[in-house]
Amino acid sequence: MDAAGVNDPLAVVAAAGDECRARIRAAESAEALASARSAALGREGRLQALMELLKSAAREVRPALGVALNALKNELTELAAERALALGSVASGVVSEDITLPPTTLSRGSLHPLTRTERRVVQVLKGLGFSVTDGPEVEDEFHNFVALNIPPSHPAREPADNFYLAGVPYLLRSQTSTVQIRTMETQQLPLRVCAPGRVFRPDEVDATHHYMFHQVEGLAVDEGLSMADLKGTLLLFFRGLFGADVELRLRPSFFPFTEPSAEVDVRFPGRGWVEIGGCGMVNPAVFAAVGIDANRWSGFAFGLGLERLAMRHCSVPDIRHFTENDVRFLRQLA
């Protein structure tokens, strides 16, 4: 014990601490660490030797010295454990987990991408106050054509362009707009509904066409609705669906059941306009067909195809994937 140590035991502890810390930190192998640990904390170690100072220290220094030794012991113990972790071995004799092992396979199922798409659309529309409603796939001509202002001579009613059903006065609906009519026939005004569902058109099946596909229709009827409400609603809807930086453009177009009518285009920053659906103000002829007073009420409607949305969103190049249901496809989009 040198003179300085006797005179200032706290300085001795501090110096020893620095030395032990440095040695533990410098250990580059489990063996080196074990020896550094033992040199510091072992039975014959440095700390044990320092304990001897307590006996010889002046009475008034002893409490402070005791605290300092305890703190150093805890610190060195922790430091050694940390170093051990860093060296990849928790303690001698314990084998650590091989964290690079691959996972086993869980039998996870998958939600169909069209269901996912429909849910996203419906979720946003519900947030805007559009109740979800359902309508039949097997329709009569009144709901599929007449009430939608599609007169008997209209080419849209051609047998070759529709799935008329054999022997009965019904056909498979060619658009979800039929649900507009059914809703207005039965529900109290004002109303705000959306109707997702299957529609059918005898198109040749190819990469972008199928005879069965899905649409979502939106309809709002209230007092004093104008195209400003339509445009505002669509903007919120597409922001909800695609994010706040999406832009909206309406282009005048024609649908028998809305007037004025428009095509709906959206654009993402730095990309081109993409046509995504149709919309318009409910045609007074449609209101007349369901007995709604067009002088008091006005409304707007919009519709979009779910397949097209899902194809764009998930980079699906061929619409036939959706009905083929190859599980490799389903798993990728799950």
DSSP state letters, 138-161: EEEHHHHTGGGT--TT-GGG-GGG
Map residue 192 onto helix, strand or coil. strand
Contact range with another protein by CB under 8 A, out of 24-32, 47-55, 85-93, 153-161: 153-161
**Residue 208 touches another protein, criterion: CB under 8 A:** no
Contact range with another protein by CB under 8 A, out of 1-9, 25-33, 72-80, 225-233: 225-233
C-alpha dist (Å) from residue 105 to 56, 261, 304, 326: 66, 51, 38, 19
Q: Which of residues 247-286 bind another protein (CB under 8 A)?
A: 248-254, 259-263, 281, 283-285
Find out whether 274 and 288 touch, Cβ atoms under 8 Å: no
Specify the residue, 47 or 195, whose C-beta has the smaller distance to another protein. 195
Q: Which of residues 176-205 bind another protein (CB under 8 A)?
A: 190, 192, 198, 200, 202, 205
Around Cβ 226, how many Cβ atoms within 10 Å?
11
**Residues 29, 74, 92, 226: which binds another protein (CB under 8 A)?**
226
Specify the residue, 155 or 270, whose C-beta has the smaller distance to another protein. 155
**Residue 232 touches another protein, criterion: CB under 8 A:** yes
**Which among 207, 187, 197, 225 has a CA at the least distance from the CA of 301?**
225
Least distance to another protein, CB of residue 228, Å: 3
**Residue 24 touches another protein, criterion: CB under 8 A:** no
**Residues 134, 185, 206, 245: which binds another protein (CB under 8 A)?**
134
Q: Which of residues 49-108 bind another protein (CB under 8 A)?
A: 106-108
**Residue 30 touches another protein, criterion: CB under 8 A:** no
- Angle in degrees, 0-180, between the axes of helices 30-41 and 62-86, rounded to the nearest 10: 170
**What CA–CA distance (Å, rounded) separates 226 from 51?**
88
**Residues 233, 266, 304, 308: which binds another protein (CB under 8 A)?**
233
Find out whether 138 and 172 touch, Cβ atoms under 8 Å: yes
